[in-house]
Amino acid sequence: MAKTRPTPHCYEFPRAALSVDIVVFALDGDNLKVMLIQRGLQPYAGQWALPGGFVRIHENLEQAARRELHEETGLHDIYLEQLYTFGELNRDPRERVVTVAYYALVNLEGHDVRPSTDARNAAWFSLDNLPKLAFDHHRIMKTAHERLRSKVRYQPIGFELLPQKFPLRKLQNLYEVILDRRLDKRNFRRKMLAMDILVELKQAERDVAHRAARLYRFDKNKYDRRTKTGFNFEI
């Protein structure tokens, strides 16, 4: 597959290059973070950008996104969903590049996130403290953020940002951060538990300097069953 000097590939009509870019969200206390990598090559050398790269001819789009994500950040087996395809003419100064953007959700504790694998410089940034981004990545990021904010309200994807076992306060905090507004504790708990998609565990938090909260986990099977009978998740 890999040659030192690849043979050229010719077509009757000019073709755009096709890439994938991924907006990886994670929750760090009261901050929603995204992972960025610092570009080593031109264009935009030294600037921060979304992880991503060109789609190979024998992999589909999601495979390409997962491969790039793994190569550049070490992340694997995470929630990934197609966001939007950006195809403006001059979004890449080199040539026409169309990019299929994805967004990913990870929990910081569960995954062995090694931002600095592969000799690249990668790091988490708070969404409200982003550096200047290469290409049209700021726009992609904004689109991803909006999508997350609206999707989190009617699909149970927020759990992807938490460890498998979590106290309800962490879940509420997640929604408060993403939706950017305070929620009432009692109402939140009542509503969430009434949906009957969480399982109350026999464990409690450990090593906290206050009363330990009970842990819960999201039960996907229960959710799927409830969904089939007309139930709709909603925050």
Tell me which residues touch its own copies (CB under 8 A): 6, 8-18, 54-61, 82, 84-85, 87-89, 96, 98, 100
Tokens 């981004």 sit on residue: 133
CB neighbours (10 Å) of residue 88? Answer: 12
Q: With 0-12 CB in 10 A as exposed, 13-18 as middle and 19+ as buried, what is 187?
A: exposed
Residue with tokens 């030192």: 4
Q: Which window, 18-26, 57-65, 72-80, 207-215, contacts DNA (CB under 7 A)? A: 207-215
12 binds, among DNA, its own copies, none (CB under 5 to 8 A by kind): its own copies
CB of 118 to DNA, least distance (A): 38
Centroid of chain to Cα 99: 16
Q: By CB under 7 A, name the one of 3, 186, 202, 228 that touches DNA.
A: 186
Q: Is 125 buried (19+), middle (13-18) or exposed (0-12) by CB count in 10 A? A: middle
Q: Which does 212 bind (CB under 5 to 8 A by kind): DNA, its own copies, none?
A: DNA
| Bridge partners, residue 126, by sequence | 33
190 or 220: CB nearest DNA: 190
Which of DNA, its own copies, none lies near 54, with the C-beta cut-off 5 to 8 A by kind? its own copies
Q: How does strand 52-54 pair with strand 17-28? A: antiparallel
Q: Does position 191 bind DNA by CB under 7 A?
A: yes
Which one of residues 212, 220, 225, 227 is an interface residue with DNA (CB under 7 A)? 212
Q: Which residue has the tokens 């959710």?
A: 223
Say how far apart CA 169 and CA 122 lie, in whole Å. 30
What does 186 bind: its own copies, DNA, none (CB cut-off 5 to 8 Å by kind)?
A: DNA
Residue nearer to its own copies on the CB measure, 4 or 129 = 4
**Contact positions vs DNA (CB under 7 A):** 167-169, 184-187, 189-191, 204, 208-214, 234
